[in-house]
Amino acid sequence: MHIVITEPDIYSTKSIEKLRDLGEVTLLHPSKKEVLQHIESANVLLIGLQLFVDEEIIEKGKKLKIIGTSTTGTDHIDIKKAEQQNISIVSLKGDLQILEQIDATAEHTIALMLALFRKLPDAYASVKEYRWERKLFVGHELKNKTLGILGFGRLGKKVAALGKAFGMKVMVHDKKQVTKEYSSVSKNELFQTADIVSVHVSLEDDTVHLVSTKEFSLMKRGSWLINTSRGKIVDDDALLDALNSGKLAGAAVDVLSTENTPGHPKNNKLIAYARSHNNLIITPHIGGSTFESLDLTSSYLVEKIKKHLHQQ
């Protein structure tokens, strides 16, 4: 048994030792070139979010049985090609017994709101230049703002609870979920009413550009957008138009549409905008990256893979 791990930093030492009990373990950087050098003999490939497992990797992995990812989303894997090669995809999608224990992305969502509202990146940068100018960084409070949650699944519910704890007025829209605890509204009403829209839907064919020109046109002038789900759910061009026009006072995103594409991040138009504007905050898909969550998810994924191998 040969197991290749492309991002060993996100797997605990204990988890890696458990894998060594199964066979040879090769630890790599998340580099396609490195992976291609080792994939021919691999039976299991464990990845994070930094490598896109494309057709070339899968075709060269003639002995691959499993591709494992410690994430809920799998858009960084060529699923269709993997299925053609009879390779099993093992992820955390739908594993609520473990996912319910993790608050990392929900907390990061609130952190982005606070950073945006209180101008924290600019204030910190200013102080590092030995400046002490309080008047330049007057911000806003979350309390009494209307928070619109787009997608009321596991993360949407956690963000709603945190928003409520901050004294925010919470409304939600979900095509399946209905809640009595918060105001359930139509998608149009959510965008028309909310001061802040926070996106928490999974990436599917029908959610690509779920937030686009129409949705931004419905929003109040001077509102905000937060996206910690997937980059392709928000239309980049429409977001830039909304920021440039002042329709949005600001936005904060943890995900980009160009992730796992050639030239990323230098070819991303949102990053280009953020380099010269202070109303867009971007973090490098770190919502779920805490020591606590990585330890929990890596241990769980390894056990899940062990069971899967024993069943084969």
Q: Which residues are catalytic?
A: 230, 259, 285
**Beta bridge partners of residue 89, listed in sequence order:** 67
Q: Minimal CA–CA distance to 191: which of 206, 171, 166?
A: 171
Q: What is the token pair recorded at 66?
A: 């499993």
Q: What is the token pair recorded at 287?
A: 């919502």
**CA–CA dist 297, 241 (Å, integer):** 38
Q: What is the token pair recorded at 26?
A: 């090769």
Contacts from 82-86 at CB under 8 Å and sequence distance 24+?
82/53, 82/58, 85/58, 85/59, 85/61
Helix (H, G, I), strand (E, B) or coil at 296: helix
Helix (H, G, I), strand (E, B) or coil at 281: strand
Amino acid at 311: Q
HSE-up (13 A, CA, CB side) for residue 229: 28
**CA–CA dist 301, 70 (Å, integer):** 6
**CA–CA dist 12, 23 (Å, integer):** 17
